[in-house]
Amino acid sequence: MAQATAASNYAGVWDNRLGFGRKTALIVIDLLQGYTLKGAPLFAPGVVKAVGEMPALLKLARQKKMPVIHTRVLYNPSDFIDGGVWIRKAPVLKSLVPGNKYAQFCKGVEPGKGELVITKNYASAFFGTSLAATLTAAGVDTLLITGCTTSGCIRATAVDAVQNGFRPIVVRECVGDRHDGPHEANLFDINAKYGDVISKAEALKYVRSLKSGMKAR
């Protein structure tokens, strides 16, 4: 007997939609040059594409005065103790240290003046950081998630977002990975179980509909 497609197998079981809540923040995860410079160990073609898709969304979010939060990964270069067991599993991350060009933000998507930058040591933007408290204090209940990588920090952040009571909404064109397989598989799984995956066009339409300062629609 032929196996059903993933979409038909999940239909009506794992395909509920959360939608947007009262107030949304845009989170830009780890858009660092280590993922976009050819020859870098972390180089991911999908991230190069995602960076190219970001400026329009960033510009509009800033025009609407939407909270924009960036994350980056940085480790102590002397002993990498802050990387714990994870950096033993993924020693390629050791290039993400102060002063290394791979740890610098990609051109065109750098944090704007006054925008919060959260430094993290693990995949999730929530783990070991003040992100949840910051969002709660700002009255944010929804996250537009962008950045990299889809199978790593994007997925981990989406899972932790819903577990912390936030609505994770991933913008398809604005996230990327090393390979289309893990990228597509994780977008499918996030959309099925943890949040919503929407197109860039849908994200832009939503942001345009907002009053400046992120009042509810």
Query: Is 65:213 a contact under the CB 8 Å cutoff?
Result: yes
- The band of 127, judged by pLDDT with boundaries at 50, 70 and 90, is very high
Q: Is 153 a catalytic residue?
A: yes
pLDDT value, residue 111: 98
Residue 173: strand, helix, or coil: strand
Catalytic residue among 106, 148, 153, 174: 153
Every domain of the chain and the residues it spans: 19-72+106-208
Highest mean pLDDT: which range of 13-22, 63-72, 205-214: 63-72
Query: Is 88:58 a contact under the CB 8 Å cutoff?
Result: no
- CATH number of this structure's domain 19-72+106-208: 3.40.50.850
- What region does 20 belong to: left with phi over 0, alpha with psi -120 to 50, or beta? beta
Spell out the residues 6+ positions from residue 211 whose beta carbon is closer than 8 angstroms to its own.
64, 217
pLDDT value, residue 179: 96
Across 57-82, average pLDDT: 97
> Would you say residue 198 has pLDDT above 70?
yes
> Would you say residue 192 has pLDDT above 50?
yes
Across 115-141, average pLDDT: 98
Across 116-136, average pLDDT: 98
> Would you say residue 3 has pLDDT above 80?
no
- Of residues 2 and 118, more confidence is placed in 118
pLDDT-above-70 percentage for the chain: 96
pLDDT value, residue 4: 72
pLDDT value, residue 2: 54
Please give the torsion angle defined by the CA atoms of residues 123, 126, 129 and 134, in that order, rounded to the nearest 10 degrees. Answer: 150
| Sign of the torsion angle spanned by Cα atoms 23, 215, 116, 56 | positive
Helix pair angle (180-193, 155-163), 10° resolution: 10
Across 40-67, average pLDDT: 97
